[in-house]
Amino acid sequence: MRTSNILKPVLLLWLLACAVLGAKCQDLHFSQYFNAPLLVNPANTGFSPDVDWRVGVNYRNQWANITSNPYKTFNAWGDVQLFNNLLDNGWVGVGCSILRDVAGSGGLTSTRAYGSIAYHQMLGLNSLLSTGFTGGWVNQRVDLTKLTFDNQWNGKFFDVSIPAGEPFMYNSVGYFDLQAGVNYAYYPSDNAYLNAGVSVMHINRPSESFFSKSQSDARLSPRYTFFANGSFKLNDQWILNPNIYVSQMAGANETVLGLNAHYNLSGDGTSQIIGGVYYRMGDAIIPMAGYQVNDISITVNYDVSSSSLSAAGKTVGAYELSIVKTGIFNTNGKALKCPSVRF
């Protein structure tokens, strides 16, 4: 394929990105959201046409230069394709993810365990429609003994023996959470691929509050997420992947956009260098680099803050690590139901 033919779908993807860039920013769990696919959209579960299964881990450490208790987020996930041999034009994906986040002096800890299922249906020879659902249990807890409040100020220091005067009812809360999503993928050729999806989190509007219901019901607002990405093989050495992510919840918005590239080191695609740069609007510039060998890829990024926190954080917002491994069940290869952009 000629490079000029590839530029047309690239431009279409970026025009689609511009159509949703009216949003401002809300913090992400991960800058490498594309390496935590089950958290972005449940329709991503099993959405890996050229492999049978995937497992991955993500780690993020944020604001270490600002606070002695930086925000730390860890995620482990995996998914697998089912019924590939039974369904002529589709398959089922099932997966799970465990997310743990620790933040602040009070040790505010969030632990989330999700299970997801998706169905992927071929539409003709060059497009794929996917729908998915996620359900899981969320626990939030905080150590109130590590916190101080204005009522405990005695004029010289905070005295923890003085009653806080805050109407806390719980130091731990739990709730069930639901998410649904849909994806559409289009394969104009063996060298180009476009994908876009939308999802809604907190469909059931769970309550998340450490106070009694008489004080605060604190039901979560739905979180709407849009993403679009593409993969374009320029030649035998380069594959480009532009991406955009937009999320909106209760008036808070976030937009992340950029691209990464894979460079073929070995000639057969078994060894690749990954490099790219992203921008979280109004917040950070995100350079990233990685290496892929066979079926394992390792990617790191370094968030350089561009917001008002840059002076306190010395322009450093966060660092992040993602490791993803893929595999197939049949060592003789995998029959593909839709095209796959690869070396």
Q: Which residues contact 255 (CB under 8 A, 6 or more apart)?
A: 20, 21, 23, 24, 25, 244, 245, 246, 280, 281
Q: Which residues contact 155 (CB under 8 A, 6 or more apart)?
A: none
- CA–CA distances in Å: residue 329 to residues 13, 131, 227: 33, 24, 30
DSSP 94: E
pLDDT of residue 341: 83
Return d(Cα 44, Cα 277) in angstroms, integer.
Answer: 23
pLDDT of residue 174: 87
pLDDT of residue 307: 66
User: What is the identity of the amino acid at 14?
Assistant: W
Contacts for 121-126 with beta carbons within 8 Å, 24 or more apart? 121/89, 121/90, 122/89, 122/90, 122/337, 122/338, 125/338, 126/186, 126/187, 126/188, 126/338, 126/339
pLDDT of residue 64: 55
pLDDT of residue 150: 65
pTM, two decimal places:
0.82
10-residue mean pLDDT profile of the chain (343 residues): values are: 45 42 47 94 93 95 64 93 90 95 74 96 92 94 70 70 65 89 93 95 86 72 94 94 94 92 92 96 92 96 76 64 93 72 82
Phi, psi dihedrals of residue 328, rounded to the nearest 5°: -125, 155
Instruction: Please tell me the CATH code under which domain 3-327 is placed.
Output: 2.40.160.40
pLDDT of residue 27: 38
pLDDT of residue 308: 59
Nearest-5° Cα angle at 114, 340 to 109: 125
Which residue ranges make up each domain of the chain?
3-327
Return d(Cα 80, Cα 118) in angstroms, integer.
Answer: 10
